[in-house]
Chain A
Amino acid sequence: DGGITQSPKYLFRKEGQNVTLSCEQNLNHDAMYWYRQDPGQGLRLIYYSQIVNDFQKGDIAEGYSVSREKKESFPLTVTSAQKNPTAFYLCASSITGIPTEAFFGQGTRLTVV
């Protein structure tokens, strides 16, 4: 079955530590996205990538970093510079060129302890 897999589902991090969230897709989509979801704020774009080895900052990129070395993978690193990292993170992918829908992973709940 084609889809997007995010791992882990739950993640705990100590303050001051970096942590990487995994996102893998086998839909052969060129575009991939990372969103942060907080209560009452909808989905806010952190980073997106339209092609391998290229990515753009979204609205709330500070304290986050990404890489896109393979078409299938778009990992997100939450660095210690992110002041309030506790949130629900969603990864998505889509076809480029034709504005069809985004497909989402199951999400990762990150909690800083």
Chain B
Amino acid sequence: AQTVTQSQPEMSVQEAETVTLSCTYDTSESDYYLFWYKQPPSRQMILVIRQEAYKQQNATENRFSVNFQKAAKSFSLKISDSQLGDAAMYFCAYRGYTGNQFYFGTGTSLTVIP
């Protein structure tokens, strides 16, 4: 079974600074999707960014970007110009082409310091 590991239970960043959240995964599949979800205090899960494994170019969504290293099975999230509203739990997730299951990491709690 696929596993997703987030080794940083908690992170903090100064407002306007940059922070990187780490995620590694284990899979034998060659094609898959990776996602970062944000869960603010409201607990609504919000998709931040997604990456198709067959694309070499790293995905970017405004202040959010990923560093996808397929060979290393690493998928980190970089948040630039951090804002107070970025404070949340962030989950890394995997979905393969051969099944419809999602595999989630245990999450990283991000605190933004004013």
Residues of chain A at the chain B interface (Cβ within 8 Å): 31, 33, 35, 40-43, 45, 48, 50, 88, 90, 92, 94, 96, 99-102, 104, 106-107
Contact = CB atoms under 8 A, between A and B. Distances in A.
Contact of A40 (B9, B42, B43, B96): B9
Contact of A101 (B35, B44, B101, B106): B35
Nearest to A35: B104
Given A99-B33, A99-B95, A42 B104 contact: yes
A42 B105 contact: yes
A50 B100 contact: yes
Interface residues of B, number: 22
A42 B37 CA distance: 12
B100 A43 contact: no
Given A99-B95, A99-B96, A101-B35, A41 B106 contact: yes
Given A40-B106, A43-B91, A99-B95, A31 B50 contact: no
Nearest to B53: A99
Interface in B65-114: 91, 93, 95-97, 100-102, 104-107
Given A90-B45, A99-B32, A104-B45, A42 B96 contact: no
Contacts of B50: 100-101
B61 to A, nearest CB: 12
B16 interface: no
Residue of B91, B95, B96, B102 ringed by the most chain A CB atoms within 10 A: B102
Contacts of A35: 104
Contacts of A100: 33, 50, 95
Contacts of A92: 45, 102
Given A40-B9, A42-B91, A107 B43 contact: yes
